[in-house]
Structure 1
Amino acid sequence: KFYGAGFVTFTDQAKMKILSVSQQSLERYSAVSEKVAAEMATGAIERADADVSIAITGYGGPEGGEDGTPAGTVWFAWHIKGQNYTAVMHFAGDCETVLALAVRFALAQLLQLLL
């Protein structure tokens, strides 16, 4: 089985309820952070009973975060064999472009991590 489940969690409440992201992490680091991305990836593994997960959280635009984080900032986490790997990227373009670039990056990095 290649793809078993997917979760779309735009709000903090959804991240907490569906992926078990802690409220403390959201308050301390913000939803667009390394910590929250890692918790999302771990939560997806547990929720889907999967071997591998990818989590993406970011500001597609046109606005960035209330904390001054610019639009186009995207945090990634991959959970593979009990370990999280994370990365941050800064993409330029409108929301659709940022989303497409983020998905492409996430999948390319997954292949690198698996090889």
Structure 2
Amino acid sequence: MGDAARRLDQAGEPDVVRRLIARPIRLEYSQHLAEEAPPEAVADEPAPDGEADEVRDVAALEAELALLKAVLDAERREAASLRARLADPAAGSDPADGLAVRERWAALVDELLLRLR
């Protein structure tokens, strides 16, 4: 059981981060940007919407960062609860429930065996 837990701990972490950070490349979006690329700005003329675009970009990045942090936090909490359940399997279930399930399976097996005779 300890070996399985160690293998699970060693194998899980890089995939979670890679899955959350890696994004699919959207070809339509990149082609759209290439078609509408503005000509290079002349140094004499300041860009009129440059600051507004930067503010929007920063706000979008902050929202994305908050979302990634929330997802990572949820993943960590879920992993911790799974580890706790694996460490103490009796804590998550009532022993009476386990006995009831066992009795139902035993009755089903007995019934199937009696039918074969």
TM-score where L is the length of structure 2: 0.24
Higher strand share: 1
Higher helix share: 2
TM-score where L is the length of structure 1: 0.24
RCO (CA 8 Å, sep 6+): is it higher in 1 or 2?
A: 1
Larger Rg computed on CA atoms: 2
